[in-house]
Amino acid sequence: MATVASPRIASIDREHRFFIRSAIVMTLLVFSGFSLQLAMGRSTFAVPIFLHVHALVFFGWTVIYAAQNFLAGPEWIGLHRRLGWIAIVWIPAMLVMGTFVTIEAARTVRVPFFFQPAYFVVMNPLSLYVFAGLATAAIVLRRRTLWHRRLMFCGMAILLGPAIGRIIPSPLLMPFAGEAVFAVILLFPLAGMIHDVRARGRIHPAWFWGLGSLVSTQIAINAIAFSPVGLAVYRAVTEGSPGADVDPLRFGPPPWATSKSHHAGGRGDEERV
């Protein structure tokens, strides 16, 4: 009996280690991305209070995700389950704060200059809603550990976008900074698939659902942002604000520009206007 159980126990331990290590990498990536901006003087703590709340909520989720992976072992499973209930409250808070901050950025003309405003307004909330969908599915399937871990992993991966965008040279990747961030995000579920092949001999179907959700999100972002629907959404959220005077399909001026007249053209702006 012991000889039969040993390979299974070894497989479980190997999977546990993979998800712990991945959670550490994700956590370091998030903290590195935002710390880099502070170190380079591109960010400051002298911001409105709602941005501090936003940071607390999203960093809080990163800590919860990392802690849950450490607590997923059999000796801590009770605490893991109790902490999991916090996620049910935390996810709606993330949706509210993420959407609010996106709208405020568009209204006050604070969209990162390497994203077109319409693209940014669609990208952030849609990515958040897909995260919420994956995380909710993971919670529903919490008793099916293989599904639960992988879906939550993919949900966390899509949240890495803002940190990745701050680490890679996004200005040099215009007009495809969004696609570049997405390409880095995909490395995480792909790493999970490779792990499954090596540890289990096959890829668990949860990875295909997670990867499919991420790919579908990027396709939807591009399809909506430059469509009449995307432009209508942008006009609706910026109505009556300085953002309403901004061309939603043009990149904003970089911080070092001396005049707002220095706008770079977007991807096919002439065709989409």
Please report the DSSP string for the chain in residue order: -HHHHHHHHHHHHHHHHHHHHHHHHHHHHHHHHHHHHHHTTS--S-S-HHHHHHHHHHHHHHHHHHHHHHTTSGGGHHHHHHHHHHHHHHHHHHHHHHHHHHHHHHHTT-S-TTS-HHHHHHHHHHHHHHHHHHHHHHHHTTTSHHHHHHHHHHHHHHTTHHHHHHHTTGGGGTT-HHHHHHHHHHHHHHHHHHHHHHHHSS--HHHHHHHHHHHHHHHHHHHHHTSHHHHHHHHHHHTTSGGGGS-TTSPPPPTT-S-TT-----TTHHHH-
CB 164 within 8 A of CB 184: yes
CB 270 within 8 A of CB 250: no
Higher local confidence (pLDDT), 34 or 27: 27
> What's the CA gap between 159 and 129, in Å, rounded?
10
Dihedral sign of CA atoms 108, 248, 164, 147 in order:
positive
CB 27 within 8 A of CB 159: no
Q: Tens digits of per-residue pLDDT, 237-254?
A: 999 999 999 999 998 888
- Euclidean distance between the first and final Cα of the chain, in Å? 69
List the one residue out of 109, 238, 267 whose CA is nearest residue 173: 267
Band of pLDDT at residue 272, cut at 50, 70 and 90: very low
pLDDT at 45: 62
| Average confidence (pLDDT) over 97-115 | 93
Structure tokens at 195: 């792990």
pLDDT at 209: 97
> What's the CA gap between 103 and 26, in Å, rounded?
26
Band of pLDDT at residue 260, cut at 50, 70 and 90: very low
Q: Is the pLDDT of residue 22 over 70?
A: yes
pLDDT at 51: 81
| Average confidence (pLDDT) over 91-108 | 94
Amino acid (1-letter code) at residue 36 = L
CB 170 within 8 A of CB 180: yes
CA-to-CA dists, residue 92 to 76, 119, 141, angstroms: 26, 23, 19
Q: Tens digits of per-residue pLDDT, 139-194?
A: 999 889 899 999 999 999 999 999 998 898 988 998 899 999 999 999 999 999 99
pLDDT at 170: 87
pLDDT at 153: 97
Q: Is 92 exposed, middle or buried, given 0-12, 13-18 or 19+ CB atoms closer than 10 A?
A: exposed
Mean of all residue pLDDT scores within the chain: 85
Q: Is the pLDDT of residue 271 over 90?
A: no
CB 100 within 8 A of CB 157: no
